[in-house]
Amino acid sequence: MKMNQSSGPELDKRAAKVLRLLKRQQPMSTQTADEVRNQLARAGNPFGAPEAHLAYRQDHTVTAADGAALLLREYSPVENGSVSPAILFFHGGGFVIGSVAEYDSICSQLAARSGARVFSLEYRLAPQVKYPVPHEDSRAAYRWLLGARDQLALTGIGVCGDSAGGNLAASLCLYARNNALEQPALQMLWYPMTHGSVETESRRRFAQDYYITEADMRWFSAQLFEESKQSEDIYFAPGLGADLSGLAPAYVMTAGFDVLHDEGQLYAKKLEASGVATESHCRADMFHGFISFAGALAQGMDEIYRTADFIRARTGK
């Protein structure tokens, strides 16, 4: 496992400025889910990545296990009918906030740089649904892509996710192995949630002031779970699984100033110990979620490009 540590233990100065602006928003943990979503919609994201040029963008509909219709948005760098790899992408937001639209520019950049079609899923959010519905939605989307692979001229299908989306991507790989489902070709995990509610040093050290706080983490869990013990389910906390062998080659990125830093690092090490080809690195000067602010933070764009290069190197693009 290649370990690349970004230089410098201090928070990047530009990142600190972005954080100061983000802290002007009312804390999530003091609001309802709908209030937070409305607040974010009003504020927008002036620091988002720029849109990339694509051959086309297209919306598909996936039928969930309970019959619900789910949006799956395709971002294609190649013309319709051309053969390409595919990436199933899951946005972040603690299973409570976030959307396909909010990650449009990130997905377009990932597609343009990697040469892979990116399919971003509008999985359902808590508290309107509870665990394991978001994870079941991710599996439905993966099965849909497997079934449509020939029609869409797709080669290997990898998975990628941001924070809660990283949890969905990691969980899907473990679920596929345990349930005789084809293993994804690759897994790319951006500051993933992997150990449920296990307390780590980074959860204590960065409990406040770094965008996602420990209070936010508890708030997310309160929305998602009917019972707290569900956070120990290995499909929510794959890092608690006894055996991670046989999973897809992995790219794991963590941020230095992040409540989830330690568990992401632990998950990468456990993947490697289980024989999974794993590339891991830490953006030591960044905070959780920095890719969403790639328009202001060069490290965010660089991380999208690093992930795309990982995809290219392993798909022959």
Q: Which residue in 76, 285, 288, 292 is the catalytic one?
A: 288
Strands (E), 34-95: 56-63, 69-76, 84-90
pLDDT digits (tens, 9 = 90+) for 64-121: 999 999 999 999 999 999 999 999 999 999 999 999 999 999 999 999 999 999 999 9
Angle between helices 298-315 and 104-114 (to 10 degrees): 40
The span from the CA of 33 to the CA of 220, in Å, is 9
Domain positions in the chain are 2-315
- The distance of Cα 129 from the centroid of its chain, to the nearest Å, equals 19
Q: Which residue in 76, 163, 280, 292 is the catalytic one?
A: 163
pTM: 0.96
Q: Which residue in 258, 261, 280, 285 is the catalytic one?
A: 258
The answer to whether residue 99 is catalytic is: no
The answer to whether residue 288 is catalytic is: yes
- Fold annotation for 2-315: Rossmann fold (3.40.50)
> Nearest-CA neighbor of 311 among 139, 102, 158?
158
pLDDT digits (tens, 9 = 90+) for 179-216: 999 999 999 999 999 999 999 999 999 999 999 999 99
